[in-house]
Amino acid sequence: MSYTNDCCGLWREHTNLSKSEMSGNTEEKVCSIADNVTEAMHNLNNVNVETTGALTTNLAIPTQELLSAQILSTVALTVGVFGIITNTAVLAVLLLARQEYGSSINTLITNQSAMDLFTSASTLVIYVTMLTHGFVYSGNRLVDKVICVAIESGVFAAFGTTAAKAGLVIITLERYFKVVHAVAYRRYYRGWMTKACVALPWIGGACLYIIPAIGTTTVRNGRCMRLAVWPNKHMATVKYNSIRVV
């Protein structure tokens, strides 16, 4: 209120009017305007303080998220490099030993190592791109589609992981039938079955991830939308339920 009275006094001084010469209505209007100005300035100060606090809080959250993303990327990069080195070594040993131990189980384990190597390499490519220059889209629909589907969406890493799981299941079943049902295994097992067991994990992973990703992954407003565009919601439901099962 002291600020309001000062405003009223300054107005009287500027207009060279005494309090007795000032009409009641004029004085009331001037003081009312001064009171509104004072209240507005007080509210503005409160808004500035609250906005500054909110900005500080909002800036702290992205910093924490960025730090977590960097830690996750570093761990994934380390795991990817380690996976490539170990699977390359195992694959080399199995290929060299294949001439001497050319059994079906040797072929299946070699195939398993190849799928693990593919998965590790795909994961490494994703995080190397993320840590170097990120995923930049130029506006060219074809190039952006390739970058989104092949790299940022992680579809090849998911494809490799799914194929590797299927490969482990096949190896388990092959060992089960050979040990538990040895007579039937020797009688009915044929060489083409080993070739089918090698191909099935790759075909299954491609059908489950790569083919759907090509048709349903797109770039919108500079963002890669993985498996986001479906002809109808029922197809999307089937797809997501199948992913949960796998």
Query: Is residue 182 in some structural domain?
Result: yes
- Whether 50 and 112 map to the same domain: the answer is no
Our count of domains for the chain comes to 2
Query: Is residue 218 in some structural domain?
Result: yes
pLDDT score for 218: 84
pLDDT score for 191: 86
Host domain of residue 44:
2-54
- Whether 118 and 226 map to the same domain: the answer is yes
- Whether 36 and 126 map to the same domain: the answer is no
pLDDT score for 142: 85
- Whether 106 and 208 map to the same domain: the answer is yes
Query: Is residue 72 in some structural domain?
Result: no
Query: Is residue 137 in some structural domain?
Result: yes
Query: Is residue 232 in some structural domain?
Result: yes
pLDDT < 70 regions, the chain: 1-67, 69, 99-102, 238-246
- Whether 17 and 135 map to the same domain: the answer is no
From 38, 54, 70, the end of a domain falls on 54
CA distance 30 to 15: 12
Query: Is residue 83 in some structural domain?
Result: no
Is the pTM here over 0.75, yes or no?
A: no
pLDDT score for 35: 55
- Whether 49 and 107 map to the same domain: the answer is no
DSSP state of 133: T
pLDDT score for 69: 67
- Whether 37 and 109 map to the same domain: the answer is no
Paired tokens of 92: 């080399």
Buried b (16+ CB within 10 A) or exposed e, 206-244: eebbbebbeebbbbeeeebebbeebeeeeebeeeeeeee
- Whether 48 and 112 map to the same domain: the answer is no
Query: Is residue 90 in some structural domain?
Result: no
CATH number of the domain where residue 122 is located: 1.20.1070.10
Query: Is residue 75 in some structural domain?
Result: no
